[in-house]
Amino acid sequence: MDLKKVTRVFILIFILIDLFLGGQIVQRAIQNRHNEGAGAAFSNMDLDNISYGKLRQKRSVGDYLGGDYELATWAGSEARQGLTAVKTVNHADKQMLTAELKQPRQLSKNRFQQRKQLESLLQDPEYFIHGDQYVYNENVTHVVNQNKNFDMVLCFQQKLFQDNQTMGGVGRLELILNQKHQLVGYRQSYVQNVQKLRNSVETISQEAAVIALYQNNELPNGSKIIWSQLHYGRLMVVNHDVVMVPIWFVSVQDGAKQTVLKVNAIDGTLIK
């Protein structure tokens, strides 16, 4: 990753933010607006029949992270050549590695046993690059597989430092199972050389994230919040370098449809 290039971009961004919004005053202003309007927001959500459960007010600390996921650099690597059990196709434009097993791998019909078998297989360098750097995410798996009546996809997200992980398309490993409960292939995104780009900052609370969604008309009447998680996701891409920030991922059920909405946990803005 060209860290200097990404850092230069971020220096410019933060200069503009600091000049326009007053730097760290923005964080306090966001939380103050939330505190002042929380009661009214929840009253209106109740009137709109929006179910949200118990939301945490606790704030945590997050970072701006930089890394690269230019999988084209793996094309001639010894690591990729060691994947003797799969045939790989590199999609540099999508920052995605696609692999098809030369022989399908039979798995248990039991979901729990399936997961254990796959977690063990992830350690095998004949099948995976950096396979030990991923952790299973049940919520993402459920969302990806909704309304599917064909192949099953089990989703793993890349582990980061201090028990953090990615969420969404960046740093995701999707294991594809056919209807015979056989592993037949996978799609992989991996962020290399992850580094902090500046000092840690305080994030908004889960409660503030939900209120931000409501105030931006993202929560339909009669909808229900199923779950929300704070993980790292993509903010921007500079060539093949990616910048990640902590994001509140909020799953919303509206009738039969379940969608995942995203709120930047640093500045409270929506991410589309």
Q: Measure the CA–CA gap between 233 and 244, rounded to whole angstroms.
A: 5
Query: From the centroid of its chain, how far is CA 150?
Result: 24
Would you state the torsion angle of the CA atoms of residues 129, 131, 133, 138, taken in this order, to the nearest 10 degrees?
A: 140
Q: Measure the CA–CA gap between 153 and 140, rounded to whole angstroms.
A: 10
Q: What is the 8-class DSSP label of residue 248?
A: E
> Of 2.40.128.690, 3.60.40.10, 2.60.450.10, 3.40.109.10, which CATH number belongs to 3-65+195-271?
2.40.128.690
pTM: 0.85
Predicted confidence band of residue 34 (pLDDT cuts 50, 70, 90): low
Query: Under CATH, which architecture does the 70-190 domain have?
Result: 2-Layer Sandwich (3.30)
Range from 144-148, 194-198, 251-255, 256-260 carrying the lowest mean pLDDT: 144-148
Q: Measure the CA–CA gap between 24 and 125, rounded to whole angstroms.
A: 45
Buried b (16+ CB within 10 A) or exposed e, 65-75: bbbbbebeebe
Q: What is the mean pLDDT of residues 23-34?
A: 53
Between 179 and 22, the higher pLDDT residue: 179
